[in-house]
Amino acid sequence: MTAQNPEPDDTPGLERGGGVTPGDTPPAETGVGGPNHEPPQRSLAMPIVFFVLIGIVVVIVAAGLIGRIAGLI
């Protein structure tokens, strides 16, 4: 597939050298489309569960070490 460049003499609003005339604006909309909505937001449930589980493991390990130092286990 080859790109078809328009002839500069036939393109309205195009100055010599490829520029546009002052005050000439591009179209309001482009031919490129995409989703017009925001991406879904991630839930905070998984990070909270992860940090709670890590906290429980840390507390259990700390309790075991403290118990070992105190001679309870």
**One-letter identity of residue 41:** Q
pLDDT of amino acid 4: 66
Is 12 inside a domain boundary? no
What's the rounded mean pLDDT across residues 39-52?
Answer: 89
Model's pTM, two decimal places?
Answer: 0.44
More confident residue, 10 or 71: 71
Provide the H-helix boundaries in the chain: 45-70
Is 59 inside a domain boundary? yes
Q: Which residues lie across from 19 on neighbouring strands? A: none
Is 40 inside a domain boundary? no
More confident residue, 30 or 18: 18
pLDDT for 33 beyond 90: no
Is 70 inside a domain boundary? yes
CA–CA distance, 17 with 4 (Å, rounded to integer):
18
Is 65 inside a domain boundary? yes
CA–CA distance, 11 with 63 (Å, rounded to integer):
79
Domain count of the chain? 1
Is 32 inside a domain boundary? no
pLDDT for 12 beyond 70: no
